[in-house]
Chains A and B, each alone.
Chain A
Amino acid sequence: MSLPARISLLVVAFLGVVAIGAFVVIHYFLYNPPLVDYSSGVTANAGATVHVVMQEAPENTVSTHPDWVSYFIQNPQTKAWEHTTLFQVPAGSRIDMTIYGFDGCTPLRNNYWGKVTGVLGNVVDVNGRPYSFINSWSGCNVGHTFSIPSINLNVPMATPGLLQSNKPGLCPTAPCQPGNPSQVPYRVMQFSFMTPHAAGEYFWQCRVPCGGGFVTGFGGPMSTIGFMTGSMTVVS
């Protein structure tokens, strides 16, 4: 083989290795689910109110892990449900949160997290009734939590109810569509909180060990962004 041919082969091989490395980095390490922007057109630190809508679904038929539970976030412009757990809100603003709870119950490992903290009034409205504590050990009451540890926010998510908690009765296809509760049972959780004045990333998580089959229930969807944990980006 001539010298130019050998050099060309070497260059091609080198570029091939670089391309494979770049693909792995971009596809596996830099991949993030989409960010739902609730800050567009809202002035930060002006006391504005933003309405964020989410849901937690028992099955996840839109991903490669259909048996993983997952949160979804509603796009404020299109009203479509995005399979993501990343959302962006303005700093120093009031967030009115609505979360549709379609999933059944799982007891908390620490019942302390049944306590509502860090929200205005320290209560969550479940189908219009205020609760400051939901006991996950006394029955089929808590499906998940929405918790932002850095601002001490913790809200337990109520389940549709004891008799409706069996999997066949729950919403079979994600994302679920709020409609007639007698056909697809769900609860509506509403609470409000203030975003920090400082811009930054505030991770949030579920505290219910809903990664069934994984170590202590905190693997799988519980440790995967886009399913049961994510980040609230606060912009100023």
Chain B
Amino acid sequence: MAAEAPPTSSPQHAAGPSGPNHGLRIFLIWLPLAIAAVLIIWLVWKPHMPPGAMSTTAADQQRTIAVLAAVAAPIMLFVLLYFAYSLVVWRARPDDDTDGPPIHGNTRIQATWITVTSVIVLALFVYGTVELYASNGAGAGQGQSPIQVPGGPKLQVQVIGQQWKFTYRYPQFGGFETTDLVLPANEWVQFNVTSIDVIHSFWAYQLGVKADANPGVNNVAFTKVSHTGTFVVRCAELCGLWHGAMFAYGQVMSPGAFQTWARATETRLASVTAQLPPFSLTYDPTTVAQMSKAMIAAGLTGAPGLYYPPQDVYQP
């Protein structure tokens, strides 16, 4: 058997004390490449990474992505460099028919590899957890009992998902509802995200905010927008026929302009607001008291209080 045969050696494999130090070679090639990659990622690429830096949460996400890329790039470079070095230096020559060295493992290399990768993974775990906590949830929905809440006053904005449009209520301005999402710059915003039909997902891309809109659940997310401008709002949960068209633009104003807009809209929509249910963190359209009369008139259920109850659901 080949394993029992005396080891043969070829000039390439005989990396003895007089041979080249391959490890040092690889390291010396890898080191400047890794430094260059990290500098390029941090100084050149990072400012253009998604989702931008329009808000505190977006900037946090951008920095996190850049950190992960900066950590991953040297590792990826090492793997690719080792692969290329092997192809060039240790490839079989046309006149070389000898076997390779009978390697049966290297405890030192294995221990080093396991230790290094474990340290990297654990460090990323700690970093990710700290970032999630330190940046007030990183713009993600934290459920109805958020763990990390920014201090100070916050503008409350309720996001209501429905097929196929988001509407927004402003409880600090009489609870008016509108299809326009307008926010002030440099103020903390608390999004209270819910749905009145199926599951949607509120995704304000440039703000780095993404929170599922579940019926009967108030999903809270925070952000603080850094400057005025526009941003895109999309639904990120497949919610039916026109899910793909469920997008719009939001606007960030100066605090003064926002106050003017909010007061004017509150006044303009006062008569409509009077016909809406009182502001609540969630809504259940199947049990709206005011609807009973209309439901009875429509003959939908024969009894007030239920509106397309779940037990009637069927699909074609």
Q: Which residues of A contact B (CB under 8 A)?
A: 104-107, 109-112, 114-115, 117, 133, 135-141, 149-150, 152, 162, 165-167, 203, 205, 207, 209, 212-220, 222-224, 229
Beta-carbon contact of A133 and B275 below 8 Å:
yes
The prevalent SS among residues of B at the interface is: loop
Beta-carbon contact of B240 and A138 below 8 Å:
no
Tell which of B163, B197, B315 has the most Cβ of chain A within 10 Å: B163
How many angstroms between the C-alpha atoms of A207 and B315 in the bound complex? Answer: 19
Interface string of B240-264 (1 = CB under 8 A from A): 1110011000000000000000000
Beta-carbon contact of B293 and A139 below 8 Å:
yes
A-B contacts counted at CB < 8 A amount to 114
Which residues of chain A come closer than 8 Å to B275, judged between CB atoms?
111, 114, 133, 135, 137-138
Beta-carbon contact of B160 and A213 below 8 Å:
no
Assess whether B44 is interfacial by the CB under 8 Å rule: no
The chain A residue with its CB closest to the CB of B179 is A152
Contact of B294 (CB < 8 Å), options: A110, A137, A229:
A137
Q: Which residues between 267 and 301 of chain B lie within 8 Å of chain A, taking CB atoms? A: 269, 271-272, 275-277, 285, 288, 290-291, 293-295, 297-300
How many angstroms between the C-alpha atoms of A201 and B107 in the bound complex? Answer: 65
Which residues of chain A come closer than 8 Å to B297, judged between CB atoms?
105, 139-140, 162, 165
Which residues of chain B come closer than 8 Å to A220, judged between CB atoms?
316
Beta-carbon contact of A133 and B298 below 8 Å:
no
Among the 9-residue stretches B50-58, B120-128, B306-314, the one with 4 or more Cβ atoms under 8 Å from chain A is: B306-314
How many angstroms between the C-alpha atoms of A136 and B316 in the bound complex? Answer: 28
Beta-carbon contact of B167 and A137 below 8 Å:
no
Interface string of B129-173 (1 = CB under 8 A from A): 000000000000000000000000000000010111101000000
Tell which of A112, A140, A229 has the most Cβ of chain B within 10 Å: A112
Assess whether B177 is interfacial by the CB under 8 Å rule: yes
The chain A residue with its CB closest to the CB of B312 is A213
How many angstroms between the C-alpha atoms of A212 and B297 in the bound complex? Answer: 15
Q: Which 6 A/B pairs are nearest by Cβ-Cβ distance?
A: A140-B297, A216-B197, A109-B285, A137-B290, A223-B241, A107-B294
Beta-carbon contact of A209 and B271 below 8 Å:
no
CB distance from A179 to the nearest CB of B (A): 24
CB distance from B171 to the nearest CB of A (A): 15
Beta-carbon contact of B272 and A115 below 8 Å:
yes
User: With A214-B315, A229-B241 known to touch, is A149 a contact of B165 (CB < 8 Å)?
Assistant: yes
Beta-carbon contact of A218 and B163 below 8 Å:
yes
Beta-carbon contact of A112 and B272 below 8 Å:
yes
Assess whether B77 is interfacial by the CB under 8 Å rule: no
Beta-carbon contact of A205 and B160 below 8 Å:
no
The chain B residue with its CB closest to the CB of A147 is B165
Which residues of chain A come closer than 8 Å to B197, judged between CB atoms?
109, 209, 215-216, 218
Q: List 12 A-B contacts (CB under 8 A).
A: A105-B294, A105-B297, A107-B298, A109-B307, A110-B167, A137-B290, A137-B293, A137-B294, A149-B165, A203-B242, A215-B315, A218-B198
Q: How many residues of B contact A (CB 8 A)?
A: 40
How many angstroms between the C-alpha atoms of A150 and B165 in the bound complex? Answer: 10
Beta-carbon contact of B285 and A214 below 8 Å:
no
Assess whether B209 is interfacial by the CB under 8 Å rule: no
How many angstroms between the C-alpha atoms of A133 and B271 in the bound complex? Answer: 9
How many angstroms between the C-alpha atoms of A176 and B59 in the bound complex? Answer: 58
How many angstroms between the C-alpha atoms of A112 and B313 in the bound complex? Answer: 25
Assess whether B196 is interfacial by the CB under 8 Å rule: yes
Contact of B198 (CB < 8 Å), options: A138, A166, A167, A216:
A216
Beta-carbon contact of A107 and B272 below 8 Å:
no
Beta-carbon contact of A212 and B198 below 8 Å:
no
User: With A112-B167, A141-B294, A149-B245 known to touch, is A209 a contact of B308 (CB < 8 Å)?
Assistant: yes
Beta-carbon contact of B240 and A223 below 8 Å:
yes
Which residues of chain A come closer than 8 Å to B300, judged between CB atoms?
106, 212
How many angstroms between the C-alpha atoms of A217 and B291 in the bound complex? Answer: 15
How many angstroms between the C-alpha atoms of A166 and B297 in the bound complex? Answer: 8
Beta-carbon contact of B308 and A136 below 8 Å:
no
Which residues of chain B come closer than 8 Å to A112, judged between CB atoms?
167, 177, 272, 276
The chain A residue with its CB closest to the CB of B160 is A110
Beta-carbon contact of A110 and B196 below 8 Å:
yes
Contact of B298 (CB < 8 Å), options: A106, A109, A218:
A106
How many angstroms between the C-alpha atoms of A150 and B244 in the bound complex? Answer: 12
The chain B residue with its CB closest to the CB of A104 is B298
Which residues of chain B come closer than 8 Å to A137, judged between CB atoms?
275, 288, 290-291, 293-294
Beta-carbon contact of B271 and A205 below 8 Å:
no
Which residues of chain B come closer than 8 Å to A135, judged between CB atoms?
275
How many angstroms between the C-alpha atoms of A207 and B285 in the bound complex? Answer: 14
CB distance from A182 to the nearest CB of B (A): 20
The chain A residue with its CB closest to the CB of B293 is A139
